[in-house]
Amino acid sequence: MNKGYGTQKARARVIIEGRVQGVFFRYTTQEVANRLNVLGWVKNRWDRKVEAVFEGEREKVEEMVEWCRKGPPDAHVKSIHTYWDDYLGEFDHFSIIY
């Protein structure tokens, strides 16, 4: 029960390694983030990894991080590095960075 303390907000940056480019990872991440009402961005990196920043309710951000451990059906996630930061509230939507 929440008891009126408000929803805890969180921010996480993740770097995902494996077969994560060319498998609709960014597009599917955006779909899941929109469904969970998580804000931020996702992008392909030059080193063939995917990087994302998630902001929102802590529980939903944690769901996004967990989802990234598997990714979309054609992905093969080898590892994920998660960095928790202070919530900044700097986003008004979730975007794919090209």
Which residues are designated catalytic? Answer: 26, 44
Contact residues for 52 (Cβ-Cβ < 8 A; gap 6+): 13, 14, 16, 29, 40, 41, 42, 43, 64, 68
Residue 45, both tokens: 């990196």
27 φ, ψ (degrees, to nearest 5): -60, -45
